Amino acid sequence: MTDRWEPAAFKVRVDEVLGRFVAEEADRFAAIDPLLSPVAEQLERSVAEGKRLRAAFCYWGWRAVGQPDSDALVRAAASMELVHAAAVVHDDLIDDSPLRHGRPTAHVALCEAVGHRAGGTAAARSLAMLVGDLLMALAGELFATSGLPTAYLARARPLWSVMARELIAGECLEILRTGAGPDTAASLKVIRYKTAKYTVEQPLLIGGALAGAGPRLREGYSSYGLPLGEAFQLRDDLLGLFGDPSHTGKANADDVAGHRPTALLAETWRLAGDADRQRLSALLGRPALDEDALDTVRGVMRALRTPERIEDMIGARVEEALGALDELTLPTPAANALTALARSATDRPK
């Protein structure tokens, strides 16, 4: 790989690592008993899609220290995508989301494996939970067997427990805040712990730790990674309601029907008058919302110009991240790549 950042070429490398590793693990799993084949299939499906942003941030966390390209490092970076796959399976299960990447989510797809027996839905959900658990275990295995020197791995290993603790804390906070009174500050805290840290900051820090990054660079990674990770999720929340499901691969109704603590909903509530709050109260948390109901919510948001406020929040965080990047003395390829990643992670189709 050249020093010029080529996202498509990097994605191919990560996809090859993940495809081969998970296929081998799925085969070993299915060999235990033929009944396990549908579960093994979900393991492979869980890593079939993705932009590989987390792997990219880990990779450039390594390269920014001055370390060269390395196939072993790409394997270690690919483990970040297994953490993400585990989080996605669990998140879809918790949120009862029906679609991901335009396909049935794991707990929906596994309904076919359990058939129409009594308690089949609960059994499928249990299987999906276990798929997520196995993916997290496989993430650690891929990292440990990446081929990097043991001393390098030892430097980064403590960050794994931090990443897991913060990711689970964020998921718990979202569950505890769901259905509660909308609060922008609380929603941003959920975003920070549930998404921002494990999407940008921790992959960068892990890549840096593998490479022996010093305190100044690690501080810079956090100053860049946290606002950028928040901007990433704020964009995702906008797309969740205003995006085209054929492009996002997810259902538009999820956040509204689930009354989830997004900054988009919190800011709308903060700005709304009594009449608009009554309209929103009648719809938030209602299952099976139709398109007319969603259009009502969108109409309130547009009238209050909430999407523009969220766009401003995204823009401010991206600029904060890029400002932090400018404060660091990085090799030119790393600086260019991290700048490009900041744009591609947040300038998604609106």
Cα atoms in the Cβ-side hemisphere of radius 13 Å centred on 255: 23
Encoded tokens for 111: 């309904």
CATH of the domain at 181: 1.10.600.10
Cα–Cα–Cα angle for 233, 64, 12, nearest 5°?
65
Average pLDDT of the chain is 93
Overall average pLDDT of the 82-88 stretch: 96
**195-233: b (≥16 Cβ within 10 Å) or e:** bbbbbbbbbbbbbbbbbebeeebeebbbbbbbbbbbbbb
Question: Given pLDDT bands bounded at 50, 70 and 90, which one contains residue 2?
Answer: low
- 329 is in which domain, residue-wise? 7-346
Please determine, for residue 231, whether its predicted confidence score (pLDDT) is greater than 70: yes
Question: Given pLDDT bands bounded at 50, 70 and 90, which one contains residue 350?
Answer: very low
| HEC-encoded secondary structure of 78-118 | HHHHHHHHHHHHHHHHHHCCCEECCEECHHHHCHHHHCCCC
Q: Are 93 and 132 in contact (CB under 8 A)?
A: yes
Does some domain include residue 80? yes
Cα–Cα–Cα angle for 349, 55, 90, nearest 5°?
75
Encoded tokens for 5: 């950042």
Question: Given pLDDT bands bounded at 50, 70 and 90, which one contains residue 348?
Answer: low
pLDDT value for 258: 79
Question: Given pLDDT bands bounded at 50, 70 and 90, which one contains residue 349?
Answer: low
Does some domain include residue 223? yes
pLDDT value for 245: 78
Q: Which of 70, 62, 64, 83 is nearest to 18 (CA)?
A: 83
Question: Given pLDDT bands bounded at 50, 70 and 90, which one contains residue 1?
Answer: low
Q: Could you report the per-residue pLDDT of 289-314, keeping only the tens digit for each?
A: 888 888 999 999 999 999 999 999 99
First to last CA, the chain: 32
Does some domain include residue 273? yes
What is the number of domains present in the chain?
A: 1
Q: What share of the chain is helix, strand, coil (3-state, %, to 5)?
A: 75, 0, 25
Q: Kindly state the greatest CA–CA separation across the chain.
A: 62
Does some domain include residue 2? no
Lowest-confidence region among 41-50, 135-144, 201-210, 246-255: 246-255
In the chain, % of residues over pLDDT 70:
97
Please determine, for residue 140, whether its predicted confidence score (pLDDT) is greater than 50: yes
Q: Are 43 and 26 in contact (CB under 8 A)?
A: yes
Residue 118's alpha-carbon distances to 1, 39, 96, 122, in angstroms, are 53, 19, 19, 9
pLDDT value for 55: 98
Residue whose entry in the numeric block shows the structure tokens 């050249």: 2
In the chain, % of residues over pLDDT 90:
80
Question: Given pLDDT bands bounded at 50, 70 and 90, which one contains residue 95?
Answer: confident
Q: Could you report the per-residue pLDDT of 322-345, keeping only the tens digit for each?
A: 999 999 999 999 999 999 999 999
Q: What is the pTM of this model?
A: 0.93
pLDDT value for 221: 98
Does some domain include residue 92? yes
**54-87: b (≥16 Cβ within 10 Å) or e:** bbbbbbbbbbbbebeebeebbbbbbbbbbbbbbb
Q: Which of 70, 101, 81, 211 is nearest to 142 (CA)?
A: 81
Does some domain include residue 1? no
Most confident range (mean pLDDT) of 145-149, 181-185, 286-290 is 145-149
pLDDT value for 28: 97
